[in-house]
Amino acid sequence: MSEERRNDPAGGGEPVSGTPQSPAPAGRTPEDAAPRDRRPEEPRTGATPAPADPAPASAPAPGDVPPGAGPESPGAEGQLPAPRVQADEVIAVRRGMFGGSPGGDTSGYGGLVRTVRLPGASSRPYGGWFDEVADELEGALEEQGLVPEQALWKTVVDRGELTFHVEREHLVQVARTLRDDPALRFELCTGVSGVHYPGDKGRELHAVYHLRSITHNRLIRVEVGVPDADRHLPSLVALYPTNDWHERETYDFFGLIFDGHPALTRIMMPDDWQGFPQRKDYPLGGIPVEYKGAQIPAPDQRRSYT
């Protein structure tokens, strides 16, 4: 067959390159004779794919990783929850929707029973960057001449969050260290929340600070517990000025007294209001009113589920 006919598809031949190719050596297929830089062919239909590499034995199953602890979250970066040194502390058994007393239940959930537990201290390793933050904080406190165990009485890793429980007399020093240390740099406090645990004897009132590091994109919590008989703790307005409003709100609703606050007055309730509305011992009742000639009883007297 002439070279022209071999290169002309219309003539019934096969198109080939201008340079003739040498035949494949004996014992080799045409595929073996192909140039080495040729792209590999797609796997043929019906071919059995190569088995995937097995997961390492230490890798947790997808269901074992707790929510909020994935690599994209400021949690434990895919690590399993830190083991507990202390068991969870049961402080109360709450009944009803709100758990308030005195006062009747007006929610219709009088049969709802829930155990209130406070998580115990966690042991190392905490997982992810939690160990880095804890090590840096403890080391910085030691450099200042403070034994870490005297300031941090419990460190908890729970639900993908890191919480330092701090003694109130060391709160300002710990907060300043968390803000100013270059390896920590928690320069923003997004507020302080009050919590009332009547069953947590000696620590009935808690103040929870939410600290964020914009530099390192991290979020931790600092928690302080004080007894109801001594509701004082130091103010952090000098370190975090935005806490001015948050400390006033926590004082207004829970009765926590922030010593050193520039103007600790009520922010929501009237100045002469009696009691603190968000405490568990605050009654759910209200004031009977008249509306269009009808008498409407107080909320805790409107319904009866007994």
pLDDT in tens, 194-216: 999 998 999 999 999 999 999 99
**Residue 42 dihedral angles phi and psi, to the nearest 5°:** -65, 145
What was the pLDDT predicted at 66? 41
- Structure confidence by residue, pLDDT tens digits, 115-163: 989 999 999 999 999 999 999 999 999 999 999 999 999 999 999 999 9
Average pLDDT value for residue range 6-10: 49
- Non-local (6+) Cβ contacts of 111 within 8 A are none
Residues 6+ apart with CB under 8 A from 278: 194, 196, 253, 254
The larger pLDDT score, comparing residue 259 to residue 290, is at 259
What's the chain's length in residues?
306
- If phi over 0 gives left and psi between -120 and 50 gives alpha, with beta otherwise, what is residue 31? alpha
Q: What's the pLDDT at 59?
A: 41
Residue 6 has pLDDT above 90, yes or no: no
DSSP label at 300? G
Strands 232-234, 257-259: pairing is parallel
pLDDT at 281: 84
DSSP state letter for 299: G
pLDDT tens digits, 24-74: 455 555 444 444 444 445 445 444 444 444 444 434 444 443 443 333 444
Comparison of pLDDT for 28 and 183, the residue scoring more: 183
Residue 297, pLDDT score: 76
| Lowest-pLDDT range of 2-6, 143-147, 290-294 | 2-6
- The model carries a pTM of 0.68
pLDDT in tens, 212-252: 999 999 999 999 999 999 999 999 999 999 999 999 999 99
Is there a contact between 150 and 142 (Cβ–Cβ < 8 Å)? no
What local confidence, expressed as pLDDT, does residue 262 receive? 96
How do residues 65-121 score in pLDDT, each as one tens digit? Answer: 344 333 344 444 445 567 777 789 898 888 776 655 555 566 667 678 889 899 999
For 93, the token pair is 């058994």
